Homo-oligomer: A and B are copies of this chain.
Amino acid sequence: MTLVVVGSAGMDTVETPFGRVEDAVGGSAVYFSLAASLFTKVQIAANIGQDYPRRVWDFLQHERGADLAGVRTFADQPSFRWSGRYEGDMNSAQTLLTELNVLAEPPTPPASYRGAPFVFLANMGPDVQLRMLEDLDGGTVFADTMNLWIEIQGSALLELMKRIDGLILNDGEARALTGETNLIRAGEDLLEMGPRLAVVKKGEHGAFLFTRDFHFALPAYPVREVVDPTGAGDSFAGGFVGHLAACGSLEPDALRKAMAYGTVAASCTVERFSTEGLELANRAQLDARLAELRSFISL
């Protein structure tokens, strides 16, 4: 089934113990789409400037069959830029610079995206996410968020949570949003706040899935060299929602397998800088990693 993603496309300058890339392709919608397009047809809505490399869009369109009707190029503004540094265990980035540029305007999904059976609203202000939700009128809707919105747009976020099917966020965000330190209780609290699914990502420690019927945990796929964690969370979301859209199901088996595909998609991303890992990835590689992951946790 078709999957619409609304999010950012940015140019990232990233420094890790393994090196540095400047103005590299990035952004939530790009990482998400590169992962999700390995599973299903993806329709992308994101704002860019004329400086954004054309190459990745050509790749998404021609190699991965993505629909770019919602990618809007601004003539008068540069692309969103983010710069950050990872150190030590690389579980979180130190942000050095953020330039919103074209992100000051909300994305504008075209009419042809309306009614998509699956939607992913990447990290944006919950006010914008609510508007996208209305405009798109999609079927099953997942959303991401971040600490900033929990702090400054808490009530819009709570409103959004009542109207989406699943929230995908990291452990720090889950704790901040629920005020609960214990992650199991935090996950259960998230469900109380509206969505029937909550995915809590824990970086190198894996991820939890919470539903009203069951909980599920996965460790991260064992990556020996984490080169650049940028985009891991959006890649996870892409593998997760991508698989669900491909099977058109939220049944327990589909959800568990979606968690595993999210996990292995993220593992491809972190092994290389920028989007290179996901561009090189294919379904056979993801399936092989899923089999390895299954054996890694086989009890």
Which residues does A use to contact B, with CB under 8 Å?
88-90, 181-185, 188, 202, 204-206, 208, 214-219, 222-226, 256-257, 259-260, 293-299
Contact = CB atoms under 8 A, between A and B. Distances in A.
A260 B184 contact: no
Nearest to A180: B224
Give the most central of A295, A296, A297, A299: most B CB within 10 Å: A299
A217 B297 CA distance: 5
Contacts of A208: 219
Q: How many identical chains are in the complex?
A: 2
Contacts of A219: 206, 208, 217-219
Contacts of A224: 182, 184-185, 188
Contact of A256 (B89, B214, B257, B299): B299
Contact of A215 (B183, B216, B296): B296
A17 to B, nearest CB: 8
Contacts of A202: 205
A260 B299 CA distance: 8
Nearest to A210: B222
Contacts of A257: 299
A258 to B, nearest CB: 11
Contacts of A204: 183
Contacts of A216: 296-298
Contacts of A226: 182
Contacts of A223: 182, 184
A223 B222 CA distance: 24
A66 to B, nearest CB: 28
Given A217-B219, A260-B299, A299-B257, A88 B181 contact: yes
Max count, chain B CB within 10 A of own CB: residue among A216, A217, A257 = A217
Contact of A218 (B89, B188, B259, B297): B297
30 contacts: A88-B181, A89-B181, A90-B181, A182-B223, A182-B224, A182-B225, A182-B226, A183-B204, A184-B222, A184-B224, A185-B224, A185-B225, A205-B205, A205-B206, A206-B206, A206-B217, A206-B219, A214-B295, A215-B222, A215-B296, A216-B296, A216-B297, A216-B298, A217-B222, A217-B296, A218-B297, A256-B298, A260-B299, A293-B299, A294-B299
